[in-house]
Structure 1
Amino acid sequence: MPAEKAIISGLSGRYATALFALARESASLEALARDRAHLTAFFGEQPGLLSLAASPLLTRNQQGAVVETLATRLDLSALMKKFLGVLTRNRRLSILLAVLRDLSALEADHKGEVTADVRVARALTKTQMTALEAQLKSIAGRDVAINASVDESLIGGLVVRIGSRMIDSSIATKLDSLERAMKGI
């Protein structure tokens, strides 16, 4: 597979690209990566909190207070605090997870890696993750940063997306294919 550049588009892509450029100019890419990881992990553990914070029922001041408390609790960098303030003022907190995903792709591209979004039926062990990373590296031809998420609807197996390429070896897809074949579709 030839080396692919990260394709970042849409509103979240514009915000992510601007934030990444600011971090690069101020030589704070490491702090940005740390902040992104903290926010991604936090909202992964507390998925409803972002919806609550982004609620249109809250005033900008209330949203700002929630964001400020969160930023202090997670010990985020000044750049990320300012960025979250901009999202809050522009009423764009709802796209924060998409911005974080796009930032991850930009960081990987900057390091010469490719990002692989992997959905699995059950969480992977460290050994499985290492083996998957090695296999994906051989397919992509360069280092791979894996964004893994659990999706129990897959039943078993995994779905990998690297750039525009998708590899679906989930049991759910195989069962769906069998069902279509049996129906004669």
Structure 2
Amino acid sequence: MGNKAVANRYAVALFQLAKEKGILKQIGDELQLVKAVFEQTDTLSTVLEHPKVLQETKTEMIKRSFEQAVSEYVLNSLLIMVERKKGSLIIPFINKFQELAYEAQSVAEAKVYTVKPLSEEDKVQISKTFAKKVGVETLYIENIIDPKLIGGMKIRIGDRIYDGSIKRQLDRLERNLVAGNR
């Protein structure tokens, strides 16, 4: 079975448990904390996958790192993954869980690329407008500054891209001019 499928199985199992217990948001928040720790500590995944590090050491490291910060459900999921030598799949597991949780809660994430930071009012307006377009109730906005856009904005929601940037318009104009000269 592929690594992605394995990560998905762990995520689905934890998702079903969290949904059954009514703690979907809590588990999602805890997993985001775990994800932040893994992303900020490059060597954590490497240590968990290293064959010369004893299994007891890996288990103890996970316990010490997360025992006080997460619920027993999240901690047990992490421990099972580490014991089964799937530590490298923790980030994909968290991402899949988040995807399932958002879908169940009618929520989506949007990456909004702009030249300058968006105000809170702008974020709310973009959220309202694009939530309707993608069929969700809530749209979380992550604003990413990209000076190459020149102006306007580009929005990525899942695998959809809405590109209203000046750079795209200039690129399209250039293609039309080049195509027209032949």
- TM (normalized to structure 1)? 0.70
Unpaired runs of at least 5, structure 1:
1-8
CA–CA separation in structure 1 for the residues paired with 2:118 and 2:38: 20
Aligned length: 172
> What's the CA shift for 1:11?
3.0
Q: Which entry has the higher C-alpha Rg, 1 or 2?
A: 2
How large is the Cα RMSD of the aligned pairs? 3.4
**Is 1:140 the counterpart of 2:131 in the alignment?**
no
1:63 aligned onto 2:58: yes
Distance in 2 between residues matched to 1:125 and 1:41, nearest whole Å: 25
Cα drift, residue 32 of structure 1: 1.0
Cα displacement (A) at 1:90:
1.8
Whether the 8 Å contact between 2:131 and 2:137 is mirrored in structure 1 is: yes
Report the secondary structure of 2:111's partner residue: strand
Name the structure 2 match of 1:34: 29
Which residue matches 2:93? 99
1:10–1:155 Cα change, 3 Å = farther
Would you say the 8 A contact 1:50–1:94 is kept in 2? no
Question: By how many angstroms is 1:143 displaced?
Answer: 1.0
Partner AA of 1:120 in structure 2: Y
The alignment partner of 2:157 has SS state of strand
Cα distance in 2, alignment partners of residues 43 and 19 from structure 1: 19
Partner of 1:3: none
- Which structure has more RCO (C-alpha within 8 Å, separation ≥ 6)? 1
Q: Output the CA distance in 2 between the equivalents of 1:117 and 1:79.
A: 28
Alignment CA distance shift 1:119-1:13 (3 Å): farther
Spell out, residue by residue over 1:1-55, the C-alpha distance to the aligned partner (whole angstroms, 9 max, x if none).
xxxxxxxx733222211111122233432431231232244445x1525434444
